[in-house]
Amino acid sequence: MENLVLLQAAAQGGNSMVSTFIMMGAVFLVMYFFMIRPQQKKQKAQKAFTEGIKKGDQVVTIGGIYGKIVEINDTKVILDVDRGTKITFEKSAISMENSKSLSEEKK
């Protein structure tokens, strides 16, 4: 009789381990689809935008500086922010086009 109780307890212990692994896998999948994947999509869209900018575009930097692209190369962008005032930025510092509003960017 006592052996039967011990055998049942051992069988239940193995079951709980499998269910724990299943639960951990489910938590990982939820984290992936709600946290990691959206961030990857956002990074991909930002990279596509950065590669698509061209001379003459009105843009906004990540620091909030508005300007017009006057020169562009592989890694740097020169913006004309005022008459005759030019500032050099890293290409990755360009946040969005000036023609787009912030509400459009969040969608």
| Helix (H) or strand (E) segment spanning residue 81 | strand 76-82
Enter the DSSP assignment of 56.
T
> pTM score > 0.85 for this model?
no
Average pLDDT score over the chain: 82
As given in the structure block, the two tokens for residue 20 are 């724990």
pLDDT tens for 56-101 read 999 999 999 999 999 999 899 999 999 889 999 999 899 888 776 5
Domain 54-100: CATH class, spelled out:
mainly beta
Nearest to 94 by CA among 103, 81, 107: 81
Give pLDDT, residue 25.
92
Could you give the dihedral angle defined by the CA atoms of residues 36, 75, 67 and 63, in that order, rounded to the nearest 10 degrees? 50
Distant-in-sequence, close-in-space partners of 57: CB < 8 Å, separation ≥ 6: 68, 69, 97, 98
Residue with the larger pLDDT of the pair 5 and 45: 45
- Domain limits of the chain? 1-52, 54-100
Is the predicted pLDDT of residue 12 greater than 80, yes or no? no
Of 107, 46, 59, 51, nearest to 87 by C-alpha is 59
Residue 102 has pLDDT above 60, yes or no: no
The band of 14, judged by pLDDT with boundaries at 50, 70 and 90, is low
